[in-house]
């Protein structure tokens, strides 16, 4: 898992051997699976029981757990950068702007955990994915038009409600079909899937955001009738080495010595490019939400899990 995430981070920083690092991570995961399967077949002790993955509900549950955290990680890298670099919010203002997401997530998880007893867990999970996807999709057209964080409040609250419904159901759904003697291993796998999903979402959303910024900014600079050829080449070279989402204030300080026309053109390109880069980054939680929604329909076709005492102890 580390190889996959580190490979993405190296790509984000413009490093080399990205494909090699990701391939090594995938080969290592495949090798681990083969090693566990072989030891199980030889009736030797295993780090974790590969038979866990024969439980259909467990596979659906931990896949949903991974996707939920991919969506959360992707949103948590894109939105703070938008607020701090585009709207030029402080860390405190950014936290307050994101409060509708975290507060509704917390409140919904508490309420759903107590009042969803009469509903199918798969149905609650499906509603959660719908709300999460709607909230993230609603942010896409708002990003280039918002002049304050208030414009994000309603979509963030909707997405937070969706995440709260998922949090209230997924752990129990995933661990319920597992026998008491294997529930600790299952909880570990579930936790690892969530941690990997969060790391992957953060890394991948950040990487594609910077890649989009670099490509679009370079293209707009090359198409500009104001920037001379030397300035266009300088922009392309700088972005190739170190792409960075930058506020207009910071950019103005960096190009303070340039003629007024060039300064104005660079600021214009930066203003036009950043929202597009952030919109592309929001595709990470959107795609994760839609994949989770697809998984929830598969859950609906399975019987509901029966809670086990071991699962309840693991959740406690």
pLDDT for 238 equals: 56
* Mean predicted confidence (pLDDT) in 133-159: 92
Which region among 121-130, 172-181, 202-211, 299-308 has the lowest average model confidence (pLDDT)?
299-308
Residue percentage of the chain with pLDDT more than 90: 36
Cα–Cα dist 225/241, whole Å: 24
CB 186 within 8 A of CB 174: yes
| Tokens, residue 301 | 């076709």
Q: Give the model confidence (pLDDT) of 60-105 as tens digits.
A: 998 999 999 999 999 998 899 888 888 888 889 999 999 999 999 9
- With 0-12 / 13-18 / 19 or more C-beta atoms within 10 angstroms meaning exposed / middle / buried, residue 273 is buried
pTM: 0.85
Label residue 232 by pLDDT band (50, 70, 90). low
The number of helix segments (H) and strand segments (E) in the chain equals 13, 0
CA–CA distance, 39 with 32 (Å, rounded to integer): 11
Instruction: Give the integer Cα–Cα distance in Å for 82 and 124.
Output: 31
**What's the pLDDT band for 240 if we cut at 50, 70, 90?**
low
- In CATH, the number for domain 61-316 is 1.20.1250.20
Looking at residue 285, its pLDDT comes to: 95
- Mapped onto helix, strand or coil, the DSSP state of residue 148 is coil
Share of the chain above pLDDT 70, in %: 88
Can you tell me the mean pLDDT for 231-238? 62
| pLDDT in the model for residue 244 | 61
- Long-range CB pairs of 29-38, under 8 A, 24+ apart, other chains included: 29/1
Q: What is the pLDDT of residue 258?
A: 73
pLDDT of the residue at 98: 94
């Amino acid at each position: 898992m580390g190889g996959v995430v580190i490979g993405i981070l190296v790509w984000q920083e413009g490093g080399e051997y990205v494909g090699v690092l990701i391939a090594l991570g995938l080969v290592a995961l495949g090798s681990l699976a083969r090693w566990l399967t072989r030891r199980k077949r030889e009736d030797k002790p295993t780090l974790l029981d590969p038979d866990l993955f024969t439980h259909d509900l467990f596979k659906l549950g931990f896949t949903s757990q991974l996707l939920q955290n991919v969506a959360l990680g992707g949103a948590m890298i894109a939105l703070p950068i938008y607020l701090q670099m585009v709207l030029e919010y402080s860390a405190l203002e950014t936290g307050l702007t994101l409060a509708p997401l975290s507060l509704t997530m917390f409140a919904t998880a508490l309420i759903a955990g107590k009042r969803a007893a009469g509903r199918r867990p798969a149905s609650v999970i499906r509603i959660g994915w719908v709300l999460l996807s709607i909230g993230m999709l609603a942010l896409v057209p708002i990003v280039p038009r918002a002049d304050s964080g208030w414009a994000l409040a309603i979509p963030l609250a909707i997405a937070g409600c969706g995440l709260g419904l998922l949090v209230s159901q997924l752990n129990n759904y995933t661990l319920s079909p597992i026998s008491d003697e294997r529930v600790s291993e299952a909880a570990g796998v579930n936790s690892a899937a969530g941690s990997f999903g969060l790391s992957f979402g953060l890394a991948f959303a950040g990487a594609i955001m910077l890649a989009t910024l670099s490509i679009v900014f370079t293209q707009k600079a090359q198409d500009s009738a104001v920037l001379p050829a030397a300035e266009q080449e300088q922009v392309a070279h700088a972005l190739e080495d170190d792409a960075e989402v930058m506020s207009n204030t910071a950019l103005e300080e960096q190009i303070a010595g340039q003629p007024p026309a060039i300064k104005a053109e660079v600021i214009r390109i930066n203003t036009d490019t950043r929202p597009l880069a952030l919109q592309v980054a929001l595709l990470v939680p959107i795609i994760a939400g839609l994949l989770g929604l697809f998984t929830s329909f598969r859950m609906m076709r399975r019987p509901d899990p029966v809670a086990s005492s071991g699962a309840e102890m693991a959740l406690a």
